Structure 1
Amino acid sequence: MEGDRREAVVWRNRALMLFDRVSVPVAVCDVYGAVLLANPAMAAECGTPPGRLRGRDVLELFRPQEATQVERIAQALRLRHRSRYQVAVRWEAPGGVRRCGELTADPVSDSVEVTPALLVMLHVRGERESPPPEAAPAPATPVEARILALLASGATTARAARGTGLTVDGVTYHLRRLSARWGAANRTELVARAYALGVLVAGAWPPRAADTSGE
């Protein structure tokens, strides 16, 4: 019996050595997904030492792309089905790199009667592209800025036309172009955006366009 125990310890130590050296991110979790043991490759994906992962929820570290996948797996584990389960996941690696991949979970235990642990392997598929930064709205032309100042003072389209020497259709044309460039739903929003973008001088009355001649 003592010899069997010593042999078991030897094989356990060999398995742990292999577990630590394998380059694939691997963890052992309980049936609820809490990490019991993680190798350095798995910890590197989370930017932390392996010991810090103990007790963490693997599905919080690597977020499933479809919640229904996790629900089906949980149900199967409760019924003690012993299949290989795969979950598409995404996560943020050290340095803010956003990655996507797949978690593969294999139930493991000494007997079918025992609630299994999960041997979890992470397969990195690639990096997810970050959305391009939103471009700053194109500035207003001097004519457009003058129209906006008149609207901010309460002018109608006809009055704005007289104040700029344009026709009513000309004023409407410029307002439509501005609305399209700035994504504004109405004239009130156009005026608000003009103040936010510095096209109109804040705190000035009557409203007036900012002087951009020095730019």
Structure 2
Amino acid sequence: MDDASLKALLEHLPVFWWEVDETRRALPGRLPEEARRRSASEGRRYAAFADLVDLAPAAAFIRDSEGRYLWANHAYAHLYGTVPEELVGKYIEDFDEPAEADRFRTLDQEILDRGTPVRHTLGYRRPDGSAGRAVGHRFPVRENARTCVAGIYVDVTEHLRATVQWQEAQENLQALRDHSGLPCALLSASGRVVEASAAAADLFQVSPHDLVGRRAHTLLADEPDLDRLHHRWNSLIARRTRRVETSAVLVDAQGLQRRAQLHLTTIGHAAARARHVWAVVTHQSLAHEAHATLTAAQVRILSLLAEGSSNGDIATSLHLSRQTVDYHLSRLRHLLGAATRPALVARAYVLGILAPRAWPPRSATAAHPLSTV
């Protein structure tokens, strides 16, 4: 391969390269020696570049106008399951099917006729029989005083396949988000809504457009559980955990509250800190006006009431007097707007105070399945 062909290949090589040529002042009587040194230096430099091209990951070749290989690097020979020495001196038809060979000859002739480089995407048959895609340049070069065709291509088959799979995953995720009926939202690490489903917008009584961009904390009621939720959120972002199941009280545009079961899951693994979190609401209580926060004792009384315990049984279980239990039940009926014991239990469930899928009954905010508060 002569220097002109090598330079042409290097110009289209998909890696960074450069050359440095120091300008020396010619001294009288020493020009021939300086020229010899520079010639030897350039010879070493181009030899190094030739090795670079030969071992580059991009597939490169040079063919004459007859379709005969004059040179090929290892990456190109690997496409045919052989080595460069087996390619040189042979023709396109020796390695490609007739239809493929005719197409490649046509491309070569186009380059020779135009005399200018062409960048294009090329389809080919891989050694395993599957279809492959490569992108690169094909251009004219001078080789042994003849105009030949050179090409450098990068196989993008796996990249394209990964891109298609990513697009399909995105479409599936969007379909799940938009049509599952589950309120869900994609949150940034700072807690801002990036995407939201129609069901999530309905939950907060706003349009999806108005929900996107909101800070998540503005959608939550100010309650004691917020500190625990904030701590678990930080664990997610710091990747100390990948998913969290918790609960929170959501506030819609009308000021109504509802307790919701939240599933939080981080996206991706590459960065040291998570950049996005999917939040999915799996269960939600009935929307209601805000009421005073219940004490742990009051929630425990509700759970025992839901289990079927009498006032006396509740007093014994909690080591309280009967009068204290009667007072708490009266207070609970007032706070929750329930006139009877069955109504009080029903309200405790629909307002999200008691966990809907737990027996014995327990608090919906309990940190552990066996917790009672």
Normalising by structure 2, report the TM-score: 0.31
Task: Supply the AA of the counterpart residue of 1:52.
Answer: D
Note the C-alpha offset of 1:72. 1.5
- Larger-Rg structure: 2
Inter-CA distance 14–104: structure 2 relative to 1 (3 Å threshold): closer
Task: Supply the AA of the counterpart residue of 2:276.
Answer: A
Note the C-alpha offset of 1:40. 0.5
Note the C-alpha offset of 1:74. 3.9
Q: Which residue of 2 aligns with 1:82?
A: 241
Inter-CA distance 11–77: structure 2 relative to 1 (3 Å threshold): closer
The two structures, once aligned, show a CA RMSD in angstroms of 2.6
Task: Supply the AA of the counterpart residue of 1:58.
Answer: A
The whole-number CA distance in structure 1 between the counterparts of 2:184 and 2:245 is 14
Q: Is 1:5–2:134 an aligned residue pair? A: no
Contact 2:259 2:284 in 1 (8 A): yes
Task: Supply the AA of the counterpart residue of 2:197.
Answer: N
Note the C-alpha offset of 1:30. 1.1
Note the C-alpha offset of 1:102. 2.9
Q: Is 1:98–2:257 an aligned residue pair? A: yes
Contact 1:25 1:39 in 2 (8 A): yes
The whole-number CA distance in structure 1 between the counterparts of 2:199 and 2:285 is 15
Contact 1:28 1:36 in 2 (8 A): yes
SS at match of 2:260: strand
Note the C-alpha offset of 1:125. 2.7
Deviations along 1:104-123, whole A, 9 cap, x unmatched? 21122143635241110123
The whole-number CA distance in structure 1 between the counterparts of 2:207 and 2:280 is 17
* Structure 2 portions without partners, runs of 5+: 1-158, 292-373
The whole-number CA distance in structure 2 between the counterparts of 1:107 and 1:7 is 20
Q: Which residue of 2 aligns with 1:113?
A: 272
Deviations along 1:174-194, whole A, 9 cap, x unmatched? xxxxxxxxxxxxxxxxxxxxx
Q: Which residue of 1 aligns with 2:15?
A: none
Task: Supply the AA of the counterpart residue of 1:34.
Answer: R
Inter-CA distance 37–78: structure 2 relative to 1 (3 Å threshold): closer
Percent identity among equivalent residues? 17
Q: Which residue of 2 aligns with 1:43?
A: 201
SS at match of 1:91: strand
Note the C-alpha offset of 1:41. 0.5
Q: Which residue of 2 aligns with 1:71?
A: 230
* Structure 1 portions without partners, runs of 5+: 132-215
Note the C-alpha offset of 1:87. 4.2
Inter-CA distance 115–93: structure 2 relative to 1 (3 Å threshold): closer
Q: For this pair of structures, how many residues does the alignment match?
A: 131
Structure 1 outlier segments of 4+, above 6 Å: none
The whole-number CA distance in structure 2 between the counterparts of 1:31 and 1:54 is 14
